[in-house]
Amino acid sequence: MAKTRKAKGITQGLTNYGDNAFSAYMRRSFARSMGYSTEMLKKPVVGITATASNFNNCHRNVPEQIEAVKRGVLAAGGLPMDFPTVSLGEVFLTPTSLMFRNLMSMDVEEMIRAQPMDAVVLVGGCDKTVPALLMGALSAGRPAIQQIVGPMMTNRFRGERLGACTDCRRFWAQFRAGKVTQAEIEAVEGGLATTAGTCPVMGTASTMASITEALGMCLPGTAAIPAVHGDRLRAAEASGARAVAMIEEGLTPDKIVTPKSVENALRVLLAIGGSTNAIVHLTAIAGRMGIPISLDRLNAISDETPVLIDLKPTGDHYMEDLFFGGGVGAVLRELKPLLHLDCLTVAGETLGERLAREDGAWADPTVVRPVSNPMRENGGLVALFGNLAPNGAILKRSAADPSLFESEGRAVVFSSLEDMAARGDSDDLDVKPGDFLVLQNAGPKAIGMPEAGYLPIPAKLARQGVKDMVRISDARMSGTAFGTIVLHISPEAAVGGPLALVRNGDRIRLSVAQRRIELMVDDAELARRKSAWKPFTALDNKRGYGKLYFDHVLQAEDGCDFDFLRATR
């Protein structure tokens, strides 16, 4: 590859004192107070994002990974310097981690740009961390490589494998249905997440890791390595060394994240039966390079891409099985005829060169199915349109009940999360099997678009053994969840989308075959209801980040990014 960029080192981007020589002298002097020699301060600088905190269990071994990255940078002749950035622990944030993804991306972008680094290694793994790191680094434009934190290992409960969070939900549903005792649910609580690393099913974190590899932004073969495996540290060391080489090569993210590599990532998202959240994040990531993702294109790719991965929540296995079974590389090899092979990766080779190198490599067909024997003939996600979702909605068909795909039901409406919490389990709730549960005002501007789209089956139906119902909302759903769940309805109810106009007893028709979600109420009645509609938000949107978020967040089809952060191409 042609060398196009020289390292600028520690004295790039000087603090503005009106005298550049003085500024450089001051910086060197202060850097030397940290014990660096003059020789070290002449080397290319590789920044490393430190995303660990006591509020993020998944990232608890990030410090160890950073040490390995540093080893790689030093061995390759660079100067490693880690710096703290926002740490988004998925279950430690309110109202929802998605609300803070853009804050983290802004922090990452600005700190890469403001601090003197020639390249950056992005260490992170939790649901919003990887998207935020990539969004920030893409906007900053310096050579960047993602070091995925890696999935946690599974545990055992009475001989059964346990892994967050598909099994969290499975046991919780059984507890709600009275089939698991208080003592048992407490034992399960203590065993769901036992090692460092991210949720070990094909939830959002694992999906983002997998599509990062498909996008070309992490080293080949590294997405699925367990967080606590020695190979994870070797990957960190290699990422550090590679970051130094990328400086000389001028290998910036705009050469890697292109319309073709985004389409590769989208295809892998569908082939792994990945999380619905990933479509929001991939849209936001691509949007930073001015690359649009159309939901119609998603449907077209979904129709021609089989689901190959047998992982929870849609299958039986866990991420450690994917790692031992061939990793994301095995999926890419199966999909080879459908991929753009001329896409460059952070390794400095094309995807085609990588796959040629791996030709004939072993894979476990029980975990990564061959194209000739897929889990499903078509992709895991589909976009729906109709008068209830003029700008689109998403259904994870690979995690849904096909018997509900062509169905019509009576709406049982909850006007907010609070309303659902107050009435959802009431024995007085007028709800029957076959009804469609509708949740309003859970979208981006209403409450930060929480993962509340997995509406619990009302307790009285759960006790009768009802396991799935059509559930509709403008919220998101955890990638670890399952059910016939229509999500990301856009425009959201809080800004006056048609979802706000649904009333108890309305009829709604779902057709996955036709990609439609229709509210069967005539236009005149909808107009009458709209005239009485009022905007809604439960956010503190009067000051600070809450105001910035509320004023600028876009809807799901634009990745819920801020309007002023997206690039135009």
Nearer to ligand FES, 142 or 476 (CB): 476
**Site stretch for ligand FES (CB under 6 A), options 110-118, 198-206, 237-245, 533-541:** 198-206
What number of residues does the chain have?
Answer: 569
For ligand FES, give the closer residue by CB, 73 or 93: 93
Residue from the set 31, 98, 122, 199 that interacts with ligand FES by CB under 6 A: 199
Q: Which of 45, 52, 58, 431 lies at the binding interface for ligand FES (CB under 6 A)?
A: 58
CA angle 294/297/301 to nearest 5° reads: 140
Cβ proximity to ligand FES, 144 vs 209, nearer residue: 209
Pick 100 or 550: Cβ nearer ligand FES: 100
Nearest to 480 by CA among 217, 198, 291: 198
CA 150 to chain centre: 14
The tokens for 413 are 């409406």
Cβ-count burial 375-404 (b if 16+ within 10 Å, e if not): bbebbbbbbbbbebbebbbbbbbbbbeeeb
- Kindly write down the DSSP assignment for every residue of 372-388, as one continuous string: TS-SBSS-SEEEEEETT
Tokens of 274: 């990945």
CB of 131 to ligand FES, least distance (A): 12
Show the binding pattern over residues 149-178: x = contacts ligand FES (CB under 6 A), - = does not.
------------------------------
What beta strand segments (E) does 125-165 contain?
144-148, 155-157, 160-162
In the complex, the smallest distance separating the C-beta of residue 421 from ligand FES, rounded to whole angstroms, is 22
| Cβ at position 91, least distance to ligand FES in Å | 6
- Cα 271 from chain centroid (whole Å): 16
> Least distance from C-beta 199 to ligand FES, angstroms?
3
Q: How far is the CB of 149 from ligand FES (least distance, A)?
A: 8
Q: Which two tokens stand for residue 294?
A: 């159309």
* Range list of H helices, 127-193: 129-140, 166-176, 182-189
Work out how close the CB of 276 gets to ligand FES at its nearest, in angstroms, rounded to a whole number. Answer: 15
Which of these, 483, 481, 294, 465, lies nearest to 405 by C-alpha position?
483
Residue with Cβ nearer ligand FES (195 or 198): 198
91 part of the interface to ligand FES, by CB under 6 A:
yes
CB of 497 to ligand FES, least distance (A): 29
**Binder of ligand FES out of 99, 205, 293, 394 (CB under 6 A):** 205
Within 380-409, which residues bind ligand FES (CB under 6 A)? none
Q: What are phi and psi of 522, to 5 degrees?
A: -70, 160
Beta carbon of residue 553, minimum distance to ligand FES (angstroms, whole number): 22
> 168 or 247: whose CB is closer to ligand FES?
168
Strands 436-439 and 485-490: unpaired
Cis peptide before 433 (omega within 30 of 0): no
Q: Mark residues 99-128: x for contact with ligand FES by CB under 6 A, - for none.
A: ---------------------------xx-
Under the binding rule (CB under 6 A), the answer on residue 474 touching ligand FES is: no
> What is the closest distance, in whole angstroms, from the C-beta atom of residue 229 to ligand FES in the complex?
17
Instruction: Provide the minimum distance between the beta carbon of 88 and ligand FES in the complex, in angstroms, as a whole number.
Output: 9
Residue 124 Cβ vs ligand FES, minimum distance, rounded to whole Å = 10
CB 469: neighbour CB atoms within 10 A? 25
Is the Cβ of residue 131 or residue 497 nearer to ligand FES in the bound state? 131
Q: Given the complex with ligand FES, which of 124 and 240 has the nearer CB atom?
A: 124
> For residues 321 and 324, what is the distance between their CA atoms, to the nearest angstrom?
5
| Among the residue ranges 197-205, 247-255, 292-300, 512-520, the one whose residues contact ligand FES (CB under 6 A) | 197-205
In the complex, least distance from residue 108 CB atom to ligand FES, rounded to whole angstroms? 18
Would you say 127 or 558 has its CB closer to ligand FES?
127
Q: How is the beta sheet containing 119-124 ordered, strand by strand? A: 79-84, 45-50, 119-124, 144-148
DSSP for 193-261, written as a single string: --SSSB-SSSSHHHHHHHHHHHHT-S-TT-TT--TTSHHHHHHHHHHHHHHHHHHHHT--GGGTS-HHH
Return all residues near 515 (Cβ < 8 A) that are at least 6 apart: 299, 382, 383, 384, 385
In the 8-state DSSP scheme, what is residue 368? B
Residue 127 vs 561, nearer CB to ligand FES: 127
Residues in contact with ligand FES, total (CB under 6 A)? 8
Question: Could you check whether the bond before residue 491 is cis, i.e. omega within 30 degrees of 0?
Answer: yes
Shortest Å, Cβ 192 to ligand FES: 10
Instruction: CB nearer to ligand FES: give 89 or 497.
Output: 89
Q: Residue from 198, 207, 302, 440 that binds ligand FES (CB under 6 A)?
A: 198
Q: Is 88 in the site for ligand FES (CB under 6 A)?
A: no
**Sites of contact with ligand FES (CB under 6 A):** 58, 90-91, 126-127, 198-199, 205
